[in-house]
Amino acid sequence: VTREFLHHHESQHPRCAVTRGNWCSRFQEQVPVPTKPVPRGSKDCPNACSGWGNCNHDTGLCECPAGHGGLDCGEPLKRPCTNRFRLLNETNSQPISHIGPDNNDLDPRASGWTAGRCHGFCDDDNSMCYCGGDSALRRIPAPVGSAPWAPPLQHGRPMIIDCKPST
């Protein structure tokens, strides 16, 4: 390696030290292009989507996550785990539920089956079933009185279809 070679490469940008030609140095010496904020619409969403959804400023509509609906995502849309489907002659617009206030199946020995049946802990915001009872892998929800979006104390192991505890 000659002295001229080292002197030439020391004057270049460190990333360009092992490249041939001067293309890399010219690239590194470019003047940065000023950035601008991404253009977005100017429409506001109702009630700022209640702190739940994402506001689409182009349309002025809220995009709500699972478990919430309405124009401002402020309406809870529960998806409880169940052991049967709604009958055709039923006029109830609320989903059929087979879970108690503790989000556990009311009676695991009761007849009926749907893909949403849960013999563990049912997260009724999205109808997800987790290990329940006194299992070390059970889901432990956030304490009563916590913010609605507070994470659970323990996430727990999901239970999939046909993966039920022994009775």
Q: What pLDDT does residue 163 have?
A: 55
Q: What is the pLDDT of residues 141-161, one digit of tens each?
A: 899 888 877 899 999 889 876
Q: What pLDDT does residue 103 have?
A: 86
Domain with CATH 2.10.25 in the chain: 43-77
Q: What pLDDT does residue 7 have?
A: 47
Sign of the dihedral defined by the CA atoms of residues 14, 19, 20, 23, in that order: negative
Cα 26 → chain centroid: 44
Q: What pLDDT does residue 55 have?
A: 95
Residues of the chain with pLDDT under 70: 1-13, 90, 92-94, 161-167
Map residue 153 onto helix, strand or coil. coil
Q: Which CATH class is domain 43-77?
A: mainly beta
SS (H, E, C) 36-72: CCCCCCCCCCHHHHHHCCEEECCCCEEECCCCEECCC
Q: What pLDDT does residue 110 have?
A: 81
SS (H, E, C) 1-35: CCHHHHHHHHCCCHHHCCCCCCHHHHHHCCCCCCC
Q: What pLDDT does residue 61 have?
A: 97
